[in-house]
Chain A
Amino acid sequence: MQKILILEDDEKLRYELEIFLNRNGYETEGVKHYEQALASMVQSDAELILLDINLPGADGEYLLKEYRKVSDTPVIMITSRDSELDELLSMHYGADHYVTKPFNPQILLAKIVAVLKRSGGQAVCDTVDCGDFVLDLSKSRIETGAACAELTVNELRIMKCLVKNRGSIVSREAIMNDLWENEAFIDDNTLTVNMTRIRKKLEELGLKERIVTKRGQGYMLL
């Protein structure tokens, strides 16, 4: 499990951030006393640091600048300042990303994943084994022992969504949300067409009726 150090002086926000990150498979460590902020950053064995710019008694940009002298651990700045200058300054001091409050938690998560991926902390798993078939994310296809089916970009994203929530219902809205987040602004009809195509491709691989439609609720991968 990868560890994330959180420097955010608002206790409630820090608490909720920790819950959110824990649920998404990260270990967290929250800093509570900011007199020794730099020391706690240096001593921590975290793989990533979330750093607020406005901390009591310490300036995030200064902390980052000092921290960069001793460590290369990725740092994502979190701030409610939204001036271009602050962003520039942070990037200049070596921040890996810059998030402004109020942030969309899912976007923060995506940025964390991206930064950790880049820093090479984790071997990226690009195939998902689903028992009788494998979803290959890098080649964008479904493979069974004997055959394989190519997926379009949108189909792959939909499959990923279904595989991730295997055994539970995924609403159409949730699938669309995921696609839209990745800048594929598809409408209802297109989603229906994509679902039909995926079903057909699965059927051709001998995987019949693996995607169940729950009327008014969504889809479920068995």
Chain B
Amino acid sequence: MKNGTNPEADRDQKICLSFNVEGGNFLSAGEASIRLKHTLQHIGYPASLIRRVAVAAYEAEMNIIIHADSGVLKAEVTPEAVTIWAEDKGPGIEDIGLAMQEGYSTAPNYIREMGFGAGMGLPNIKRCADIFEIETHVGIGTKIRIVIFNKQKTN
């Protein structure tokens, strides 16, 4: 916390959560998303928003696990919106247009045999998100940003 910050004045602030995600570790799949979901439940967001955030975060987390070497899932939570960043060091996406198509997948066979990599990840995220941005560099990694607004906020 910065020096001299008054917590009361900071009330309309935000929480930032950050989770490291390890590529290839399917056993930990969902841990970060579930933690984020429980935090949102404690804040008391409407159930529909929590579901959308949880599903989007889970798909983003899975993408890191399936495709990348390592990555970070970050969330910024404010009364108005939940923003998720998923940043990874990995192969990047060669053709974003194709990756956004339902059912298109570059996941190797052994991953599909585990029931993952059905090619629904990015389309699912887009369906849940109000704002969806993706930035990718082949051979370096991928960054996505997802914003989901809290439409029920009364003010």
Say whether A associates with B: no
Interface residues of B, Cβ cutoff 8 Å to A: none
